[in-house]
Amino acid sequence: MTGQPHPIPVDLLRRLLRLDVETGNLYWRERQPEMFSGGAHSKKQEAKRWNGRHAGRQAMTAKNSRGYFHGPILGRWYRAHQVVFALSNGRWPDDWLDHINHDRGDNRPKNLREVGSAGNARNISIRSDNTSGHLGVNFKKSDNRWVARICCEGKRIYLGAFDTIVEAIDARKAAEKLHNYHENHGSRAA
């Protein structure tokens, strides 16, 4: 999000969309004739046609391959969670938005927090191909031991090799706490 221009001012966004804060869903508002350019049809006819098709209906319901809802607003595509943030905070996000519970479809304002890329990385879901069941913990066959690691400030930190997985997990959890990882870090996505 950082550095991208936002051609839609938040006050105009509020005229176009309504946010249900309980669900995080967005709904199209009715548009007035002056919001249309008029062409083959009058502005009033264009407004009537648009409102008949869209006003009151849920907006931004398409889901991309990464699981984010998105959709077009005035000819440009936006991710729904960024629009929700803008509507609920009165400004576009300056940085990354983190879905606290890891569910990219849950765009309730209370589930979104603005963080830097490092903060976003401190609250990730465990991948489906993880073999140990815990982030930063793996079994090293050559030593017949469990190894724990963590990343901090772009550096990979070796936490040690352990005889049991429980010891490796404990070391990793202690390091997560020390380095201010989010409490949901490593949980499964909803």
Q: Which domains does the chain have, with CATH numbers?
A: 10-120 (3.90.75), 124-178 (3.30.730)
pTM for this structure? 0.68
Count Cβ atoms within 10 A of the Cβ of residue 178 and give its class: 0-12 exposed, 13-18 middle, 19 or more buried.
exposed
pLDDT at 128: 73
pLDDT at 152: 81
One-letter amino acid of 80: A
Name residues of the chain where pLDDT drops below 70: 1-6, 116-126, 182, 184-190
